[in-house]
Amino acid sequence: MATRLLTVEPTAGLANRLRVIDSAIALSRALGSALQIVWTRTPDLGCRFDELFTPIRGVRIAERSWIHSRIVRRLGAVLRYDPVLTQAAVERLIAARHDFTGLRGARRPFIITCSRFLPAAGHLAGLTPVPAIAARVGEAAAGFTPFTVGVHIRRTDNERSTLRSPTAAFAGAMAALVRDEPRTTFFVATDDPAEEQTLRAAFGDRIVTLRKRLDRANADAIKSALVDLLCLSRTRVVLGSDWSAYSEMAAEVGGIPLRVIEIGGAWSSPVRWPRWRGRDFGVRRRAGVDVE
């Protein structure tokens, strides 16, 4: 019996949801099933999918409020979905190195998770930001050079990132890049304005940031978070935070290196600066998420 419809509900923040979507598309193709993504507005992400991205070809997007999603999920568990895989079940299967193709034959499986449950498959290339988002990214990235490095510093509720990726470690890595290449500039994305101020005091005009709201329950804040992520993806390398899906996704979307900054970690530059016959030579790459 063929799987008729795979329903996947990504949870948590923007980056977590993006990697779940990548896994969901990969699994639906492996199962030969239709795919529905349930996009639920929550305090962690208070923005509709269609305010961020254009439709994904061949994928149905179900936009729901938190209450609506909860009601449908409970009713579906009884009347519609079979089986239902919650976060705990998904984590157990990941730990067992399950490829989830055991769902073949289940007519209407439902997965709700914040975890990437299959290896990265490049399906985020099918995600295109809406024109307003793309325009903001294009305007910001127009000032980037082949020597612009992305910096993502995760703070607020992520205690592990705060402890393991301290500001001093970022500053040390950034200073090393400047010593190696004096033309280095930094695009900085962070959820803590104090981090911006600290880095600007140390590196001055080398720091580029965008104004944004930080309340994740607010749609404008999520739009700004997507703009920041796509701008990071257009830099040469991302200096990222430990235990941050956002750092990982920014590098993955852009197809660029990610260097996680950790306390006590040995520093070696991941950057090969572009030089050719004494001139700057910047090779353009295709971003995983098309923002042209």
Query: Domain limits at 256?
Result: 131-280
Residues of the chain falling short of pLDDT 70: 1-3, 78, 265-292
Q: Are residues 168 and 104 in the same domain?
A: no
Q: Are residues 265 and 143 in the same domain?
A: yes
| Predicted local distance difference test score (pLDDT) of residue 275 | 40
| Predicted local distance difference test score (pLDDT) of residue 76 | 72
Q: Are residues 117 and 137 in the same domain?
A: no
| Predicted local distance difference test score (pLDDT) of residue 278 | 29
Q: Are residues 142 and 276 in the same domain?
A: yes
Q: Are residues 111 and 87 in the same domain?
A: yes
Helices 14-31, 245-254: crossing angle, 10 deg rounding = 60
Domain presence at residue 291: no
Domain count, the chain: 2
What pTM was computed for the model?
A: 0.89
b/e code 140-161 from CB counts within 10 Å (16+ = b): bbeebebbbbbbbbbbeebeeb
User: For 185-198, what is each residue's pLDDT tens digit?
Assistant: 999 999 999 999 99
Q: Are residues 139 and 263 in the same domain?
A: yes
| Predicted local distance difference test score (pLDDT) of residue 14 | 98
Q: Are residues 212 and 255 in the same domain?
A: yes
Q: Are residues 117 and 221 in the same domain?
A: no
